[in-house]
Chains A and B, each alone.
Chain A
Amino acid sequence: MRKVWISRLTAQKMIEVQNLTKQYGNFTAVNGITFEAQAGEIVGLLGPNGAGKTTTMRMLTGFMPPTSGTAKIAGFDIFDDSMEVRKRVGYLPERVPIYPDMTVRGYVDFWARLRGVKNSKSQVTQVLERVHLLDRQKTLVRNLSKGMRQRLGLAQALVHDPEVIILDEPTIGIDPQQVIEVRDSVRELGKKHTILFSTHILSEAEQVCDRVVIINKGQIIAEGTPANLRQKLQRGNSLYVQIVGANLAQATDMLSGVAGFESLTAQGEGYILRTRNSNDVRGQIAERVVQSGYRLVELRPVAMTLEDIFLDLVGRE
Chain B
Amino acid sequence: MAGTSIIFRREVYQYFTTPVSYFIAAGFLLLTGLYFNGDVAYSITRKAINPALIPDFMATLMILFGPLLTMRMLAEEEREGTLELLLTAPASDAAIVIGKYLAAWFYYTLLLALTFSYQLIVVQISQPDLSHTFCAYIGIWLYGGATLAIGILFSSLTENQVVAAFMSLATLVFLYLGDIAGQIVANLDLARVIRQLSILGHYSTSFSYGLVRAEDVAYFAGIIVIMLFIAIRVVESHRWR
Chains A and B belong together in one complex:
yes
Report A's interface with B, CB cutoff 8 A. Answer: 58, 61-65, 83, 86-87, 89, 91, 93, 95-102, 106, 110-111, 113-116, 156
Chain B stretch 56-93: residues in CB contact (< 8 A) with chain A: 80-91
* A62 in complex: contacting residue of B7, B18, B88, CB < 8 Å: B88
Question: How big is chain B's contact interface, by range?
Answer: 20 to 34
A122–B17 Cα distance when bound, in Å, is: 24
Minimum CB–CB distance from B51 to chain A (whole Å) comes to 39
- Residues of B near A89 (CB, < 8 A) are 88
Chain B stretch 19-47: residues in CB contact (< 8 A) with chain A: none
**Does B85 lie within 8 Å of A93, measured CB to CB?**
yes
A233–B17 Cα distance when bound, in Å, is: 56
**Does A97 lie within 8 Å of B240, measured CB to CB?**
no
A110–B14 Cα distance when bound, in Å, is: 12
- Kindly list 4 other residue pairs between chains A and B, CB separation below 8 angstroms, not including A111-B89, A114-B89: A89-B88, A97-B83, A99-B10, A116-B90
- Residues of B near A116 (CB, < 8 A) are 2, 90
A62–B87 Cα distance when bound, in Å, is: 8
- Residues of A near B13 (CB, < 8 A) are 102, 106
**Does A64 lie within 8 Å of B90, measured CB to CB?**
no
**Does B90 lie within 8 Å of A97, measured CB to CB?**
no
A95–B17 Cα distance when bound, in Å, is: 25
Given contacts A86-B90, A115-B90, contact A156 B10 (CB under 8 A): no
Give 18 pairs: A residue, B residue, CB < 8 Å, sorted on A: A61-B88, A62-B87, A62-B88, A64-B239, A65-B239, A91-B88, A97-B80, A97-B83, A97-B84, A97-B85, A98-B80, A99-B80, A102-B13, A102-B14, A111-B89, A114-B90, A114-B91, A115-B89
**Does B3 lie within 8 Å of A114, measured CB to CB?**
yes
- Residues of B near A62 (CB, < 8 A) are 87-88
Minimum CB–CB distance from B1 to chain A (whole Å) comes to 12
Minimum CB–CB distance from B99 to chain A (whole Å) comes to 10
Minimum CB–CB distance from B6 to chain A (whole Å) comes to 5
- Residues of A near B10 (CB, < 8 A) are 99, 102, 110
**Does A64 lie within 8 Å of B240, measured CB to CB?**
yes
A113–B3 Cα distance when bound, in Å, is: 8
Interface centre among A63, A65, A83 (most CB of B within 10 A): A63
Minimum CB–CB distance from A34 to chain B (whole Å) comes to 22
A63–B84 Cα distance when bound, in Å, is: 7
* A113 in complex: contacting residue of B6, B85, B87, B240, CB < 8 Å: B6
Closest 4 CB pairs of A and B: A97-B81, A97-B82, A61-B88, A86-B90
**Does B85 lie within 8 Å of A111, measured CB to CB?**
yes
**Does A110 lie within 8 Å of B80, measured CB to CB?**
no
Dominant secondary structure of chain B at its interface with chain A: helix
**Does A101 lie within 8 Å of B17, measured CB to CB?**
yes
A115–B13 Cα distance when bound, in Å, is: 18
**Does B81 lie within 8 Å of A93, measured CB to CB?**
yes
- Residues of A near B2 (CB, < 8 A) are 116
Which chain B residue lies CB-closest to A110?
A: B10
- Residues of A near B14 (CB, < 8 A) are 99, 101-102
A95–B91 Cα distance when bound, in Å, is: 21
Minimum CB–CB distance from A102 to chain B (whole Å) comes to 8
**Does B81 lie within 8 Å of A95, measured CB to CB?**
yes
Minimum CB–CB distance from B14 to chain A (whole Å) comes to 6
**Does A91 lie within 8 Å of B85, measured CB to CB?**
yes
**Does A63 lie within 8 Å of B88, measured CB to CB?**
yes
Minimum CB–CB distance from B207 to chain A (whole Å) comes to 36
A98–B86 Cα distance when bound, in Å, is: 11
* B81 in complex: contacting residue of A96, A110, A111, CB < 8 Å: A96
- Residues of B near A64 (CB, < 8 A) are 239-240
Which chain B residue lies CB-closest to A101?
A: B18
A61–B90 Cα distance when bound, in Å, is: 11
Given contacts A97-B85, A114-B3, contact A87 B90 (CB under 8 A): yes
A89–B87 Cα distance when bound, in Å, is: 12
A288–B184 Cα distance when bound, in Å, is: 102
- Residues of B near A87 (CB, < 8 A) are 90
A308–B85 Cα distance when bound, in Å, is: 36
Minimum CB–CB distance from A217 to chain B (whole Å) comes to 21
Which chain A residue lies CB-closest to B3?
A: A114
